[in-house]
Structure 1
Amino acid sequence: MTTLPPEEFALRADHALALLRTYDGHLVLGIPAYRPDMVMIGGGVLASETHSAALTREVREEVGLWRPAGRLLVLEQVPATISKPAGTTMVFDVAPLGPDSPCTVHDDELRGLHLLHPDALAADHRPPGVGPRLARRLRAALRALEGGGTVEIRLKGAGQAPLSRRRAAEYQQDAADVRDGWQPDAR
């Protein structure tokens, strides 16, 4: 993966997220201080780092754990809007938390952590605090984890001109084109 030079960083909004789980299979989600819905642990990719390096840094900053990025589970191309540039979000598997792994909030961005059982993400159900985008990413990551591949989420409009806020909201509500078994080019 190539990183963007600093002068191009503002033109992209790349993110690296962790499928952080407990030893008994619960998903560990962050309760942010800045919005009502929960988030996956992770964050933005700096110009000087790869997605996997950003993930390792973000997990350390947010929950105080050293968890290097494992297998790529989800690749999502996020379209540009009037207020946000286009970007790529990658969800990586990380080593599960053992019963004695201390996992605490170490970042002002998070108010706390929430454990979510994967069964709560049934196709026809979305638990409180889990927004549509988070539910889509979690379901895709769990499917990839179980199936052994990578899932690509391609939202309508990805790679096109920036969208208005109204059109961006419509695209997020539309069903995403999800392809199972995607494998990155071996270069």
Structure 2
Amino acid sequence: MPQLTDKAVPDQAAPAPAGTWMTPEAYGASRAALWTGAVVLVTDTDGRVLVQSVDYRTDRLLPGGAVDAGEAPSAAAAREVREELGVDGRYPHGLAVDWLPRDTPGFAPEMGFPGEILYVYDGGTWTPERIDAVRLPDQEITGIDFAEPADLPALMDAGDARRVLSALRARIAGGGPALLEAGRPTSPTALDRLEVLRTRRTPERGTWHPGAVPDRLPVRERSGWLFAPDGRVLLLVARATGAAHLPPPPPGAAVLGYRAVEDDGTGGGARLRAVARIAALPPAADPAYARLLATPEQVRELSDWGPAGAAELAAVHRARAGLRLPAAVRTPPAELPDGAVRW
């Protein structure tokens, strides 16, 4: 870093400082000036993202906007949500910080866009009651929707959609705020590398029932909560689509419960869930799938299970306690090697 002097002009009688000395004026002129913005990522209880329609552009936006001179970014985030949605709140937890270069598409040349640092804050999960409390202003914001994460690229500017998906993955991963450049993580996690949430999640909205599947219901699907010794569970992610799902249960796994499948013309049925403790895994049988270890909460957040997801998650933790396994600490899901794994 260049060295500064406490004088605007060096003493004419003194020798000029050596090296990289600069006057304060020259040093200030050498620093890059960037815009600063703040947005808030809010989801509903189904994991869909709140996006706004505005009266000055066709694509959707997160709540947020410019940080005023002398304003802290977190204060700007709270102010923007209050102005745009009529909802008071504080958003101290950051999900991502994104650097936008000066040649970012979408800015008219006459704006003189110099680049921007944009903060993404965690607005949390809003209940139906909190959503009902939204009050839109008379102008600018014309409506809100909750969008499936995979639909964001079709609804938003491409860079905005990348940023939101990166921030959402950072929230699920739980490893702290992501540093982004043009919406892309500089240090991607397994969720980023596999681009989870880029395809629509398969809805499993059936009610949760503990115990065995009744004889009258055909089993349409079998999957298992397979616990590693640290309390995390095995999760499969399709490399081609980023879709995440639980693996099939091994022989001897205990039945945990089932989800009812609505009658789609085939008579309905059940999605069976089993539970087991695993001490080892054989080599991956299908290279099309990555194997990850994730917390049960992360599995739920990557799924579309509806209100019954809470009941299933509670049953999973009761089973974990029965297996005398610890509750896993949320850390970024770890991708396992394709070879055999033993704990």
Shared fold (TM-score, shorter chain, > 0.5): yes
Q: Is the Cα–Cα contact under 8 Å of residues 44 and 125 in structure 2 kept in the other structure?
A: yes
Q: Secondary structure at the match of 1:14?
A: strand
2:40 and 2:141 map into 1 onto residues whose CA distance is: 15
Question: Do residues 30 (structure 1) and 59 (structure 2) align?
Answer: no
User: Which residue matches 2:179?
Assistant: 152
Listed as ranges, the gaps of 5+ residues in structure 2 are 1-32, 104-108, 190-343
Question: Do residues 48 (structure 1) and 70 (structure 2) align?
Answer: yes
RMSD: 2.0
Q: Secondary structure at the match of 1:30?
A: strand
User: Which residue matches 2:119?
Assistant: 90
Question: Do residues 111 (structure 1) and 145 (structure 2) align?
Answer: no
Instruction: Give CA-to-partner distance per residue, 1:45-95, whole Å, 9 cap, x none.
Output: 001211100000000000011121132111111222552122210101013
Q: Is the Cα–Cα contact under 8 Å of residues 30 and 113 in structure 1 kept in the other structure?
A: yes
- TM-score normalized by the length of structure 2: 0.40
User: Which residue matches 1:7?
Assistant: none
Aligned partner (choices 69, 74, 82) of residue 96 of structure 2: 74
Q: Comparing both chains, which one has the higher relative contact order based on Cα–Cα distances under 8 Å and sequence gaps of 6 or more? A: 1
Describe the shift of the 1:131–1:87 C-alpha distance in structure 2 as closer, same or farther (beyond 3 A). Answer: closer
Question: Do residues 179 (structure 1) and 178 (structure 2) align?
Answer: no
Aligned length in residues: 147
Aligned partner (choices 134, 143, 150) of residue 169 of structure 2: 143
Question: Do residues 100 (structure 1) and 126 (structure 2) align?
Answer: no
1:138 and 1:177 map into 2 onto residues whose CA distance is: 11
- Report the more deviating stretch, 67-76 or 49-58: 67-76
2:55 and 2:135 map into 1 onto residues whose CA distance is: 15
Shift of 1:119: 4.1
Listed as ranges, the gaps of 5+ residues in structure 1 are 1-10, 156-174, 182-187
Larger Rg: 2
Q: Is the Cα–Cα contact under 8 Å of residues 144 and 180 in structure 1 kept in the other structure?
A: no
Describe the shift of the 1:176–1:22 C-alpha distance in structure 2 as closer, same or farther (beyond 3 A). Answer: closer
Describe the shift of the 1:177–1:74 C-alpha distance in structure 2 as closer, same or farther (beyond 3 A). Answer: closer
1:179 and 1:18 map into 2 onto residues whose CA distance is: 22
User: Which residue matches 1:132?
Assistant: 158
Q: Is the Cα–Cα contact under 8 Å of residues 70 and 95 in structure 1 kept in the other structure?
A: no
